[in-house]
């Protein structure tokens, strides 16, 4: 069966510091991968999605970037965090675009 991992689970970072969040999927090949952010009390905002290694589509202009160095690895990064980057970051995978997505446990990021 497929599983999706994210780490760290919780992170507290100062404004201006860098960020690297990692997501890995097991039990499937060539998944579509997604990064979402959920601000407190808000809906899910799609940040990036990837249909293959090295292929990244950005949904929202911001100071974040994503990379997919391996088939089942998806990384979210920032060079300098802003206060507004605080939120719950969720990675998801799907077998096909536009079909059911399965989420990892998420990373709760607080920028102080």
Partner 1 sequence: RKEVEQDPGPFNVPEGATVAFNCTYSNSASQSFFWYRQDCRKEPKLLMSVYSSGNEDGRFTAQLNRASQYISLLIRDSKLSDSATYLCVVAPGNKLVFGAGTILRVKS
Please report, as ranges, the residues that interact with partner 1 according to CB under 8 A: 34, 42-44, 46, 49, 88, 90, 97-106, 108
Contact between residue 47 and residue 61 where contact means Cβ atoms under 8 Å apart: no
Q: How far is the CB of 63 from partner 1 (least distance, A)?
A: 22
- Looking from the CA of 36 toward its CB, the CA atoms found within 13 Å total 17
> How many C-beta atoms lie closer than 10 Å to residue 68's C-beta?
20
Q: Of 15 and 97, which has the nearer Cβ to partner 1?
A: 97
Q: Of 17 and 57, which has the nearer Cβ to partner 1?
A: 57
Determine the length of the chain.
Answer: 112
Q: Of 11 and 102, which has the nearer Cβ to partner 1?
A: 102
């Amino acid at each position: 069966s497929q599983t999706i991992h994210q780490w760290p689970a919780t992170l507290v970072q100062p404004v201006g510091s860098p960020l690297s969040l990692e997501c890995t999927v097991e039990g499937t090949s060539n998944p579509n991968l997604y990064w979402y952010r959920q601000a407190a009390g808000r809906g899910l905002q799609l940040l990036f999605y990837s249909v293959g290694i090295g292929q990244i589509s950005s949904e929202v202009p911001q100071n974040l970037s994503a990379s997919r160095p391996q088939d089942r690895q998806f990384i979210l990064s920032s060079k300098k965090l802003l206060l507004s980057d605080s939120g719950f970051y969720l990675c998801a995978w799907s077998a096909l675009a536009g079909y059911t997505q399965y989420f990892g446990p998420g990373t709760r990021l607080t920028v102080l």
